[in-house]
Structure 1
């Protein structure tokens, strides 16, 4: 009976990866297990749909008088019917697994790995792709050795919307309660689903076959290793590592940590670009995505990326200077948090990333909802990339999609309204404040709004920009002063033309264009390390 009970409540098994002479293959459940799984899945999807549409569903039930005594009896009958069906489905699923030799062998290995905590058993477990909630824990946020200062205590003091709402006078708090309640309800249901669709059970179900196939390729073709990390908030973070150190790769000693978009997963996301460029890579799924648990609120995102970096430092043994953060789209937010918390990290590459979520959200919603949109985002989903990125002193590279249709404020793809432009401008105003006067800002905007590459290059000819001359000016400043930010280069002794030349030169170093739409995979040839004026100056000085 104990074995049968473990089969009833055991994990789903999806695939057995290739090992030695055995070919990889999909796990084949019996008829009983398959039918039981279908029933459980349907009930789970119905519950998830009800949860995310609860504001509309509750309003409908209220209008139909379901909150009366008779209505509640009707709801109780529905629940009383569903629960026995669910129990029966679980039982027949368990019987089907109990009679399947392949499943029983897997379950015995899993139970042994949980009890013995043996690395050899965990290594064998890597050949099985199964329900991640049953995966043994590999690392916790406080499992560190050596430099304990690398625990980020600042994340414990993440801004709390409830604390912000409780500030101010009693009258103002009472007046703001309806908006606060509405913002909370919207952002914890429909709003979060619109911003992070990848965390919804329905979306996960739709892409699940692609995720299994993607993991199979990572494991069988690239030697990936999967692990479970426990973040500070208790969420389980699903990660995969492909370590190319000590292999035939000139880039293997650098680890690229990939932060995916709002519907991206490490199995099918931006991890491919640095992987094909021969770097060591670490992919992880947002809270609520794939095997990761939780919900992708900013504080959960911060805790997730923090434990990922802790794992890279203390378990994988990478130095911070050898870690690169690579983010696509909304993943730029978590990358900016990590960059702020770990200022010694080697570099940040942001692909198709915006500066702030609010300017993007307002045009995509009805005008009468503007106040609600701003209040909801600022209080519960304040994805302000620049606020965090400006506190990172290291090298940064922005990749702008010239036909991006997602991070533009216009209804059609328009490079002039791409929010990467605003991110670059704010970054320059923060790092090179004395270069950014009225004339240079005007020229920079014109340069960023150029409709094609040929028009953009014409600015270099018009203002006679010479890379070697600009490089010497920057290097001379670094050698005479320092390379720390803000750099006060651009005093009155520099002519206005020279300031414009330097801004255009820096724009070419910080941002590169990719002629593609938002979701086009980035070719590995375009995956380059960010430019650093400090390293540039050091290399020249050594020469």
Structure 2
């Protein structure tokens, strides 16, 4: 490679971050030359300034206009400023390219990357030992028309579609709602998409990713979705290593969570095989976390697990935390044969939370914005999943409670009630819903007092459900309870609440303890079972 060509390639090539495999962790970190480091610093600083300028542009334009910066003389000064910044940027790229071209470690990496792009198998394996900017990472898996099943069970809110036709007067509100969601709204709901937040968190994300790769032997993959996004993911393979290794847990992070420092550590420590992935627009993943892109992203992860990693869908568990309950519940609904779903600190529907956190006069706009642009309704999706479900409620949750410190306002309560009403409609009558609300307003020993008061016999309740399932099926909704007494309905309601919901004395963002990570409860079908 000629010197000029090498410099040119190095000017726009990815930043090398780490070289895995050395015994001394300090040697893993790539050490750029002084000139390369200076060039990177200038380029990254200008990028951050540009991002901040974009976010604050409505305010900046108003201030500049008031101070007369849009007059002819000011335009000359502005043009000179832009030209100066452009020259600095070009010089920075040139300095970076020359310094990289003289660094043997960087040139070895760049040659490996170029050979990997030519489908050189050995080069692709060697490339896994490098950590570098993700945009240059070769695609490991692409969702094709053959593998894609997206949309078969996608929810459509018909009432909203009909209201669009009927209510022409709401068009101005719809326009405002659309603009709000597609500017600052999506960032309020998913703050992990904010560019300078990534810059702040970069050292922590790098440290977490290094641990996953270096210590836990994780393998990083780029997944190309059906709508053209690239999803950054990591796979920890525990097959043939632990008893739980044949079960794959796919983790779905919260609205400011990243797989590098997120919920994946809990199932990893429990010795399950694990896939962690970043939402569209988070970390190195491209796109924005609108519902359709979220669906395409989790669909790509599942298809990758089935077609590339060769896991059976019956051995896949979806684990969602907070807003990750949307993507995980969509996946469970779309792949109903999966082993189960675990939802930690998840809400039933984002609309009540959005209305609660926004000014009261915004409510009409918020209602339209959520329902038409980002309708994260976990309940609707979860009710269409027929398999085992486990809910974890944080008793000190300050995020999904409408009233801080009031556990009865936790939206996870509503999710449980709607789920049990759907699955066991003849058990959860109005009286039992009131009892369940009373039970959910309490924690710990106070809940035990209620179950004792109503004489809940775990063995009897299990036998009643087992008898029904063995005679009929596990399909929902179940008709069990049609001829039950009020006492039996109360007992079964409390029994089911304990089976579906586990309480954790913690706030919203505390990592889930390993002992709390348990596969969802399920009633086995036993032929010939007779209630005694």
Q: What is the TM-score when the length of structure 1 is the normalising length? A: 0.92
Q: Distance in 2 between matches of 1:58 and 1:165?
A: 39
Contact 1:18 1:220 in 2 (8 A): yes
Alignment of structure 1 residues 455-466 onto 2, 5 Å: 455-466=446-457
Alpha-carbon distance, 1:165 to partner: 10
SS of structure 2 residue aligned to 1:258: strand
Within the candidate set 66, 86, 89, 1:86 is matched to 89
Q: Distance in 2 between matches of 1:343 and 1:217?
A: 33
Alignment of structure 1 residues 66-465 onto 2, 5 Å: 75-115=78-118, 117-142=119-144, 148=146, 151-154=148-151, 167-168=164-165, 172-173=167-168, 175-247=169-241, 249-410=242-403, 412-450=404-442, 452-465=443-456
SS of structure 2 residue aligned to 1:502: helix
Flag the 1:460–1:318 CA change in 2: closer, same or farther, 3 A: same
Superimposed CA distance per residue, residues 34-68 of structure 1 (whole angstroms, 9 cap, x where no aligned partner): 11111111111122222233444444455556566
Alpha-carbon distance, 1:476 to partner: 0.9
Alpha-carbon distance, 1:526 to partner: 1.1
Q: Is 1:6 the equivalent of 2:3?
A: no
Alignment of structure 1 residues 480-519 onto 2, 5 Å: 480-491=471-482, 493-519=483-509
Q: Distance in 1 between matches of 2:96 and 2:185?
A: 36
Q: Aligned residue for 2:51?
A: 48
Flag the 1:526–1:156 CA change in 2: closer, same or farther, 3 A: closer
SS of structure 2 residue aligned to 1:29: coil
Superimposed CA distance per residue, residues 189-241 of structure 1 (whole angstroms, 9 cap, x where no aligned partner): 22111111111111111110011111111111111111111001100001100
Flag the 1:313–1:365 CA change in 2: closer, same or farther, 3 A: same
* Stretch of structure 1 that moved more, 397-406 or 12-21: 12-21
Structural RMSD (CA): 2.4
Contact 1:18 1:24 in 2 (8 A): no
Q: Distance in 2 between matches of 1:160 and 1:68?
A: 50
Superimposed CA distance per residue, residues 160-192 of structure 1 (whole angstroms, 9 cap, x where no aligned partner): 99x9599426xx54x434322322222122211
Contact 1:273 1:524 in 2 (8 A): yes
Q: Distance in 2 between matches of 1:49 and 1:165?
A: 40
Flag the 1:184–1:85 CA change in 2: closer, same or farther, 3 A: farther
Flag the 1:111–1:486 CA change in 2: closer, same or farther, 3 A: same
Q: Number of residues paired by the alignment?
A: 526
Superimposed CA distance per residue, residues 261-286 of structure 1 (whole angstroms, 9 cap, x where no aligned partner): 11111110000000000000001010
Contact 2:174 2:365 in 1 (8 A): no
Alpha-carbon distance, 1:84 to partner: 2.0
Q: What is the TM-score when the length of structure 2 is the normalising length? A: 0.94
Gaps of 5+ in 1: none
Q: Distance in 2 between matches of 1:539 and 1:468?
A: 18
Flag the 1:71–1:362 CA change in 2: closer, same or farther, 3 A: farther
Contact 2:467 2:529 in 1 (8 A): no
Contact 1:54 1:189 in 2 (8 A): no
Alpha-carbon distance, 1:18 to partner: 2.2
Gaps of 5+ in 2: none
Contact 1:510 1:530 in 2 (8 A): yes
Q: Distance in 2 between matches of 1:166 and 1:434?
A: 33
